[in-house]
Amino acid sequence: MTTRVAVAGATGRLGSLVCEIVEADPAFELVARLGRASDTEAGADAHLLVDVSHPDASPAIVERALARGQRVLVGTSGWSEDRLTALAATVAATPGAAVLVVPNFSLGSVLGTALAQIAAKFYDSIEVIEAHHPGKVDSPSGTAVRTAELMAKARNGRPVDAPHADQSPRGELVAGIPVHSLRLAGVVAKQEVRLGGDGEVLTITHDTHSNAAYRAGISAALHALLTAQGLTVGLDGVLGLSGLAGSGAGVSA
Ligand SMILES: NC(=O)C1=CN([C@@H]2O[C@H](COP(=O)(O)OP(=O)(O)OC[C@H]3O[C@@H](n4cnc5c(N)ncnc54)[C@H](OP(=O)(O)O)[C@@H]3O)[C@@H](O)[C@H]2O)C=CC1
Ligand SMILES: O=C(O)C1=N[C@H](C(=O)O)C[C@H](O)C1
């Protein structure tokens, strides 16, 4: 039996790739390509909804899908710790619900974030610099927010040294870690985590050169969602990386 899939954000850069992957996979049938102007009832008969739309629209799209009993894959950015906490409560109150939130579908990004979590325990001076294409509407990126939140968590409440963080050129503080955002022609996506210590700086860099980087992660996430239960955040478990960065690295509920 094929799984019927609806895609919210289907006309976008990521959405068109998701549609292509779903259409090429015999396990799935693409039944709805949804955009901003789509009827809210469109795609209601799908088993699985993929949301790759806009950070402002994503919570309502996910909530509607859960109310219909659809399994949900979220690739949209903007799912900070606060939003995830609220989503975890909704999922817990919805019998049989399955939601997979993936801040970044690329293997290298997942590994980069895991390595940053390990390193964050050993350095007190940490900053994140992310760069994206000029079409990106939100900043900081969802990946940078998630990376900063997970590094802060790995430090068990030990604050990062972020001098003069009240000055706007010092970036935006996310979980106490300064994050700097560039929107630059010629860039697809890039993230650097810089960790400063006595006489040294460790830099963990990930470069996305094209959307092809997301292909394998999207496919793995779609298949993982067929049997998933509850709320899962990140591809760590799906890619066999659970435990790499310590307990509960990429899982929030
Ligand atoms: N997890 C990951 O690995 C990745 C995540 N992303 C994230 O995915 C999201 C989409 O990125 P991208 O494809 O580049 O964006 P695009 O701007 O190319 O596409 C956005 C899509 O969302 C739709 N949309 C916009 N606003 C709304 C709304 N208010 N309600 C419903 N649908 C809406 C648009 O529909 P319409 O055409 O009708 O306006 C369009 O189909 C972003 O949050 C981005 O950060 C991106 C790349 C990788
Ligand atoms: O908008 C993008 O392009 C991307 N968005 C995601 C994010 O905000 O982290 C993932 C990736 O960085 C590409």
Distance CA 180, CA 175 (A): 14
* Atom number, ligand 2, closest to the C-alpha of residue 191: 12
Q: Say how many Å lie between the CA of residue 142 and the centre of ligand 2.
A: 6
Strand partners for 207: 190
Tens digit of each residue's pLDDT (9 = 90 or more) over 129-145: 999 999 999 999 999 99
Max alpha carbon distance in the chain (Å)? 59
Catalytic residue among 54, 133, 136, 223: 136
pLDDT digits (tens, 9 = 90+) for 63-98: 999 999 999 999 999 999 999 999 999 999 999 999
Is-cis flag, bond preceding 169, omega within 30? no
How would residue 246 be classed by pLDDT, with cut points 50, 70 and 90? Answer: low
Domains and CATH numbers, the chain: 3-101+212-239 (3.40.50.720), 107-209 (3.30.360.10)
Is the distance from CB of 160 to CB of 177 less than 8 angstroms? yes
Amino acid (one-letter) located at 103: P
How many angstroms separate the CA atoms of 209 and 23, rounded? Answer: 24
Output the six-digit token pair for 84: 């995830």
Q: What is the pTM of this model?
A: 0.96
Ligand 2 centroid, distance to 13 Cα (angstroms): 11
Nearest listed ligand to the Cα of residue 102: 1
Looking from the CA of residue 138, the nearest atom of ligand 2 is 8
Is 132 noted as a catalytic residue in this protein? yes
Return the sign of the alpha-carbon dihedral for residues 22, 24, 27, 31.
positive
Share of the chain above pLDDT 90, in %: 92
Pocket test for ligand 2, best of 74, 106, 141 (most atoms within 8 A of CB): 141
The answer to whether residues 220 and 234 touch, using CB atoms and an 8 Å cutoff, is no
Where does residue 173 rank: exposed (0-12), middle (13-18), buried (19+ CB within 10 A)? middle
Instruction: Say what the ipTM of the complex is.
Output: 0.99
Beta bridge partners of 212: none
229 contact partners, CB below 8 Å, separation of at least 6? 96, 98
What's the gap in Å between 131 CA and the centre of ligand 1? 17
Placement of tokens 């870690």 in the chain: 177
Looking at all shown ligands, the one closest to residue 130's CA atom is: 2
Candidate of 11, 49, 53, 56 to mutate for ligand 1, largest count of ligand atoms within 8 Å of Cβ? 53
CB-ligand 2 contact for 106 (6 Å cutoff): no
**Going by C-beta distance under 8 Å and a sequence separation of 6 or more, which residues neighbour residue 23?**
30
DSSP letter string over 133-172?
A: -TT--SSS-HHHHHHHHHHHHHTTT-----TTTTSGGG-E
Compute the distance from residue 102 Cα to the ligand 2 centre, in Å.
10
Q: Which ligand is nearest to the Cα of residue 64, counting in written order? A: 1
